[in-house]
Structure 1
């Protein structure tokens, strides 16, 4: 089997580290990265950027995006700051490369539409990086729902809580991230509900504050979002950066679904061994189970090989972006906001 050439454009997102490691471990993939604007802030892997990170992970490196695209990759992973997604997707699409784009798809509706237009005009595929969709617990929930065992859905409660992402300060800079916890965490649950129900979001009501980490963040750090759907479901989402700095893990995601036939709850990141560190007294949590990033990457690579559009696609990215933008407008205005069609 001919090895696929996969480029990683920017190491700004913390997920870039996992993507590089996973791709480098695949025998049918040749991977190169490019992070020309990256500056290392320390010696740990999480603090490395640019060639420093590529060398630490043992992957190929291109000094510029132009150099990487001249390598003629079959596909690229865009792991930049959210506000740079449009620029990098447009450049990759023009070079004929399929794209796996970090979430959220964009930070503005205009940029989201431009991304859609760019990949469609170039005839390349775009997949949005929503790895939790590939959790076995979500697959079981979806199968249970599709079999009618939950009955008619009427309410959903979701949480996506994490630590303040300090190793990548741009996450809390609205000019680069498009927002704080709202932009970072709502989209994961919005994607799961999009896949589960196939329903259209109608309205969003949201409240947010910056009480948590007020001295370190430039955007909202806590928020509650209520979404109504055209199938009658009301979903409530807690998307806060509420995990303390001493947390044993970055965070997690849960989803509780209620229907006329019963309820189902999933905790995709739940399986773990727990303990206490003898020297510090701090909690230890060692998670185990399937790697969702690897499952997502393999789905993307299979699609690149066979030419079949993978899910979630650019339209899912737009639908989830529309919910985030409506939530941000609701916070600004104090009103319930209609979701863009």
Structure 2
């Protein structure tokens, strides 16, 4: 099959490399406003260059990967759906929930599959955790702990356009809490602070946050995030049940050191970047998209899924700002 890629920045170029290595992908068509980025991808992967999204879609692509800036996501998703081309789009669906709902209306009426890029759904550890929970191995859950800690903050320009730490970073945790547990979040209470980079504070954002999520069966999920984790990139999940407990990310490259005398775990070189931690998951995610394109499976992460995680992020953002519990229904109605 022929896959088109719109946007050849850091993640777009990474996706191009991954797609070029998949057996199902015969060729690539690429487009980027920066000609040098498109030219580099074309030279490296033998891709054809299109001078616009419209010409890329007219080039006979079977599937479309959207890795452009967030502001462009709604229009590019619509363009793919209207052309009858299955779309993979990096999160978020749109900058605002209102725009996201408009995209959802288009997708629902278009009959064309759209997959949103929440790569943790394709990580082996998170997949095993989901199977354990759904299979009853842990018994009834009472607590979930989920964390994403970046080794260093993004630059000021990225922070200013990110929508805030809950919408940009914690949203991955929110999605995977829903996906692994099979439950919905009903209420949140969030707190945050600034102990590091001044440009995050100046943007009105927090660099370190914690949120307690109440799930619809009464389970509590604690989500912690930070832009500053000196030892490396740390993504983990702990699931505590009445029969057993399970951890994702508890492996030798975990960026923690033990204070216990004689302890040698973890002993590996810590993860230092999300592309390192989730390289296999990104490959599995795009391999799944080729199956969606082929009609062999439905979208494994729909626009609806992405918006549900977005509503949780909206509730946490409001909770942090107003220092109070917020229900998801409040922001959904608001």
Report the TM-score, using the length of structure 1 for normalisation.
0.82
Bigger mean CA offset, 203-212 vs 88-97: 203-212
* Residue 157 to residue 289, structure 1, CA distance change in 2 (3 Å): closer
Q: Which residue of 1 aligns with 2:264?
A: none
Q: Which residue of 1 aligns with 2:22?
A: 26
* Residue 156 to residue 285, structure 1, CA distance change in 2 (3 Å): closer
Note if contact 2:200-2:207 (Cα within 8 Å) is conserved in structure 1: no
- Please give the alpha-carbon distance, in whole angstroms, between the structure 2 residues aligned to 1:201 and 1:116: 20
Q: 1:51 aligns with which of 39, 50, 53?
A: 39
Note if contact 1:10-1:34 (Cα within 8 Å) is conserved in structure 2: yes
Asked if residue 337 in structure 1 is aligned to residue 326 in structure 2, the reply is: yes
Q: Which runs of 5+ in 1 are unaligned?
A: 41-48, 275-282
Q: 1:224 aligns with which of 210, 213, 222?
A: 210
Asked if residue 327 in structure 1 is aligned to residue 316 in structure 2, the reply is: yes
| Superposition deviation, residue 204 in structure 1 | 1.5
Q: Which residue of 2 aligns with 1:46?
A: none
Asked if residue 267 in structure 1 is aligned to residue 249 in structure 2, the reply is: yes
Q: Which runs of 5+ in 2 are unaligned?
A: 256-267
Q: Which residue of 2 aligns with 1:159?
A: 147
Note if contact 2:124-2:281 (Cα within 8 Å) is conserved in structure 1: no
- Bigger share in helix: 2
Q: Which residue of 2 aligns with 1:178?
A: 163
Note if contact 2:7-2:31 (Cα within 8 Å) is conserved in structure 1: yes
Equivalenced residues, count: 311
- Please give the alpha-carbon distance, in whole angstroms, between the structure 2 residues aligned to 1:138 and 1:74: 30
- Please give the alpha-carbon distance, in whole angstroms, between the structure 2 residues aligned to 1:113 and 1:288: 31
Bigger mean CA offset, 297-306 vs 217-226: 217-226
Note if contact 1:271-1:288 (Cα within 8 Å) is conserved in structure 2: no
Q: 1:315 aligns with which of 289, 298, 304?
A: 304
- Please give the alpha-carbon distance, in whole angstroms, between the structure 2 residues aligned to 1:210 and 1:10: 32
- Please give the alpha-carbon distance, in whole angstroms, between the structure 2 residues aligned to 1:258 and 1:289: 24
Note if contact 2:115-2:299 (Cα within 8 Å) is conserved in structure 1: yes
Secondary structure class of the residue paired with 1:97 = coil
- Counterparts of 1:225-304 in structure 2 under 5 Å? 225-244=211-230, 251-267=233-249, 270-272=251-253, 285=270, 291-304=280-293
- Please give the alpha-carbon distance, in whole angstroms, between the structure 2 residues aligned to 1:259 and 1:184: 29
Q: Which residue of 2 aligns with 1:277?
A: none
* Residue 256 to residue 284, structure 1, CA distance change in 2 (3 Å): closer
Secondary structure class of the residue paired with 2:149 = strand
Secondary structure class of the residue paired with 2:197 = coil
- Counterparts of 1:194-233 in structure 2 under 5 Å? 194-215=178-199, 218=203, 219-233=205-219
| Superposition deviation, residue 220 in structure 1 | 3.0
* Residue 214 to residue 58, structure 1, CA distance change in 2 (3 Å): farther
1:144-181 CA-to-partner distances (Å, cap 9, x unmatched) read 22221211111111111114464x7643123xx322x2
* Residue 212 to residue 59, structure 1, CA distance change in 2 (3 Å): farther
